Every structure is written in C-alpha cells, then in structure tokens.
C-alpha cells in the first residue's frame, strides 16, 4: 500500500530490466523484493546499487500503463510501513486505466478517464494520477478536474504534463469496493 504522496522524482535510464535512478529517494532501508510505486505502478525491486533500482516489468504491465516504456522522469514512493502516516489516500499501485490530459495550465489539470473508470470518480473524492494523490474538484461525463498546488508541481512530474499526454489513473479504493458491493 502507498499514500500517493510522492517521495522523490527518479529517472528511467534503461528499459530491460527497468533501471531507475532513484533521485532523492532514501534507499538505505530498501531491500530486494520491496514494492516501490513508480509513476503510479507498484513494482518489485529486483536489484539495488549506487542510487539505482531495477525492476522486472511484465508485458501486461507495459500494456496497461503509461510512462514506463521510455526514459524520463517518474514519481517514486516507498510502500507504507505499519505505523506510517497516511498523508494522501490509500493507493495500491494497481493502475486502473490510462487517461488523457485535456488541459493543463495555471495549476489546473483536466483529464479524460476511460469509460469504465468514470463511474468511480466523484467530486471531492480521491484520484491517483501518475502516483500522486489528488482531490477531484469537478466531474463532467468522462472528464474530471483537479487543482495542482505549486508544491505538487515542484516535487512531482505533473508539472511537465501537456495536452494529449497519457497518465496512469487509480481510482479510490473505497469507491471500487462500494460499487462492487452494490452490484451484488
């Protein structure tokens, strides 16, 4: 489990296996087999050395996510430990779908979600975009809007987003379970 509070921005250096320079992410307590949220996707550390982490990434993961298929900046978060503060919301790192940026300017971000996810997105609910926990401000059809404060823009990759970019989305865990219960 994660919180969606990005701890560092890393950089994908190589793709097979995925090699990420961890940036300012503290690695002293990271072990082989640990889970790290990379751009919203939970991945398992298979190697660690000199400020870098390596991950095996399946074809399925690459098929259903964005941002892991090319070198570039990625949001990083270590998994929660028992007793850690929960500053964002509960995030699994299981990407539910890929959205498309419709607009991004002046701290305002509008994203079009896949049709299957739109029912889980609610005003004042939580959404995780590229591993960042955010509050939904407005929903209209399949699109939703969030505001990005200057701090978030500074410490995550969200500031570089442009119209047409693909983003990893994880809907609120509670919304997913409530919807499932209502289907029964």
Longest dimension (CA), the chain: 50
Residue at 87 is within a domain: no
CA–CA gap between residue 158 and residue 161 (Å, rounded): 6
Place of tokens 């995030």: 91
Nearest to 38 by CA among 90, 78, 98: 78
* 58 plus 132 within the same structural domain: no
pLDDT in tens, 36-77: 999 999 999 999 999 999 999 999 999 999 999 999 999 999
The predicted pLDDT at position 156 comes to 98
Is the bond leading into 78 cis (omega within 30 degrees of zero)?
no
Q: How many domains does the chain have?
A: 2
Residue at 3 is within a domain: no
CA–CA gap between residue 123 and residue 125 (Å, rounded): 5
Q: Which domain does 178 fall in, by range?
A: 97-183
Instruction: Give pTM, 2 decimals.
Output: 0.95
The predicted pLDDT at position 26 comes to 97
* For residues 160-170, average pLDDT: 98
* CATH code of residue 53: 2.40.30.20
pLDDT in tens, 108-133: 999 999 999 999 999 999 999 999 99
Nearest to 169 by CA among 103, 105, 108, 115: 115
The predicted pLDDT at position 178 comes to 87
The predicted pLDDT at position 137 comes to 97
pLDDT averaged over every residue in the chain: 95
The lowest-confidence range among 49-63, 67-81, 95-109, 165-179 is: 165-179
Residue with the bigger pLDDT between 103 and 184: it is: 103
| Banded model confidence at residue 82, pLDDT cuts 50, 70, 90 | confident
* For residues 147-151, average pLDDT: 97
In order, the DSSP letters of 65-102 are -SSSSSSEEEEEEEPP-TT----S--B-S---EEEEEE
* 108 plus 176 within the same structural domain: yes
């Amino acid at each position: 489990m994660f919180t969606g509070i990005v701890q560092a921005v890393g950089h994908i250096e190589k793709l097979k296996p995925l090699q990420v320079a961890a940036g300012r992410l503290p690695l002293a307590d990271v072990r082989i087999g640990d889970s790290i949220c990379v751009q919203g996707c939970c991945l398992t550390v298979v190697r660690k050395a000199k400020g870098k982490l390596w991950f095996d990434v399946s074809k399925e993961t690459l098929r259903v996510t964005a941002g892991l298929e090319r070198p570039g900046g990625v949001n990083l978060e270590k998994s929660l430990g028992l007793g850690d503060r929960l500053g964002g919301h509960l995030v699994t790192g299981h990407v539910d779908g890929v959205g498309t940026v419709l607009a991004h300017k002046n701290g305002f971000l509008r994203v079009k979600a896949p049709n299957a996810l739109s029912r889980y997105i609610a005003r004042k609910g939580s959404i995780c975009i590229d591993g960042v926990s955010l509050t939904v401000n407005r929903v209209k059809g399949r699109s939703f809007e969030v505001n990005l404060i200057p701090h978030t823009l500074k410490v995550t990759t969200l500031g570089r987003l442009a119209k047409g970019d693909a983003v990893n989305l994880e809907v609120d865990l509670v919304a997913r379970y409530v919807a499932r219960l209502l289907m029964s």
